[in-house]
Amino acid sequence: TILFMHGGRDYKVDELGYNQLKLNPREQLSAGEVGYIVAGVKSVQDIEIGDTITHLDRPATEPIPGYQKAKQVVFSSVYPMNTDEYPDLTKALEKLAINDAALTFEKDSSAALGFGFRCGFLGLLHLDVVQERLQREFDIGLVISAPSVRYQLQLKDGETMEVDNPTYWPDPSTIDSVSEPYIKASILTPEEFVGPVMELCREHRSESQTMNYLSAGRVEVTSEMPLGEVLFDFYGKLKMITRGYGSFDYVQTEYRKTDIVKVDILVNKEPVDALSYLVHRDKSRARALHYCEQLAEEIPRHQFKIPVQGAIGGTIIARATIQAYRKDVTAKLYGGDVTRKKKLLEKQKKGKAKMKQFGQVNIPQKAFISVLRADKD
């Protein structure tokens, strides 16, 4: 019987041996040998990566040092492109979780995109791997929301909380301070691209930068910046300005106080939950304008004007307008009194005002897909 020292769970060993292209059972594994253990583990979620295995009856005095519990740092909502595939997505995530204990997911829903899951990942690479496996191995079309990080909030009543989903962001009047995770980024680049790379870091709110010449023509740029700043376009821009020769790696360091706000996207003055996001105040308007313009291109025109707005609380920070169709109600008039024409135009104006007040705007799913994909890219 074996014991997982950190997890505190014990299991009876059914088989052990060497893994040499095929499984070779053995009576025992000695120090320094690499092999496998077959035990009665019911759920992979009970096992923590990096845990120390020991005998239940003759346990080691202490576990091997260096263990750190896997902690999710990047979060994103995953929805099936076809709502009928929700049961398939559920089974797919459950199967992935069998051999990926670091993947977490819980049920989520959106008025626009239907049922899905809020997933937690160890980092950007982990997110990309899970997305690729879901699409390749299970053939499921996905809509993935813009990734976010976990923020630490200090409320004015003394309570602390962690938020990674815009849905659960509290009223701004109750927030005393917000902290976000920072990383230490290591960027390897040819010497000729050092200037543009350092400028890219500054654009993404880098707070300190150092250079180390590794060899002739090869430079390591080290920079401290918010993790949330590298989730969207950082890696793509790095590859572009270094012509594909730049590489990027990072480690998370600490939380630092910052000015994060929640931006809501409103269509015809109604908030669209799937498009709300958390961002630094300095970058809120540019991203909101991108969302509004993208939606204005994708939403079909109606008989009335449709405002598409980005808002922080009750303050509008960006806007685009979808122009209305206009029917020529005076086409059948041939001369005569001009007051007849004015009456028809006034009647049309009142009708459009009423439609604008009570009309419903149907947002096609392709509009959400277009905005979220463009934002992720």
Give mean pLDDT, residues 240-267.
91
Indicate whether 93 and 127 sit together in one domain. yes
Q: Which two tokens stand for residue 252?
A: 């998370």
pLDDT, position 333: 60
CA distances from 134 to 73, 85, 93, 131, 362 (A): 20, 12, 8, 5, 29
Tell me the pLDDT tens digit for each residue of 1-47: 888 877 778 888 888 888 777 888 888 888 778 888 888 777 766 77
pLDDT (tens digit, 9 = 90+) per residue, 83-112? Answer: 889 999 999 998 888 778 788 899 988 877
Check which CATH number belongs to the domain holding 116 and give it. Answer: 3.30.70.870
- Identify whether the C-beta of residue 229 lies closer than 8 Å to the C-beta of residue 287: no
At 357 the pLDDT is 43
Give the containing element (helix H, strand E) for 317. strand 315-322
Does residue 66 lie in a domain region? Answer: no
Give the percent of the chain with pLDDT over 70.
88
Secondary element (H or E) of residue 368: helix 365-376
Nearest CA-CA partner of 221 in 206, 237, 236, 205: 206
Specify which residues 28 forms β-bridges with: none
Output the six-digit token pair for 80. Answer: 């099936």
Q: What is the pLDDT of residues 306-360, one digit of tens each?
A: 899 999 988 999 999 988 766 554 556 656 666 766 665 676 565 555 444 434 6
- What's 167's domain CATH number? 3.30.70.240
Grouping H, G, I as helix, E, B as strand and the rest as coil, residue 124 is helix
* Strand duo 160-163 + 151-155: pairing: antiparallel
Range of the domain at 100: 74-144
Out of 118, 144, 170, a domain closes at 144
Domain contains 239: yes
Whether residue 16 is found in the same domain as residue 85 = no
Domain count, the chain: 4
Q: Which residue matches tokens 């709502």?
A: 83
User: Same structural domain for residues 225 and 325?
Assistant: no
User: Among the three residues 144, 162, 192, which one is the final residue of a domain in this structure?
Assistant: 144
Whichever domain contains 281, its CATH number is 3.30.70.2570
Is residue 65 one of the residues assigned to a domain?
no
Radius of gyration of the chain (CA): 27
The domain that contains 9 carries what CATH number? 2.40.30.10
Residue 84 and residue 160 in one domain: no
**Final residue before a domain boundary, out of 197, 222, 257:** 257
CA angle 37, 42, 46 (to 5 degrees): 85
Indicate whether 285 and 221 sit together in one domain: no
Given the structure tokens 């690479």, which residue do they identify?
A: 125
- Beta partners for residue 258, in sequence order: 178
The region of weakest confidence among 49-58, 187-196, 358-367 is 358-367
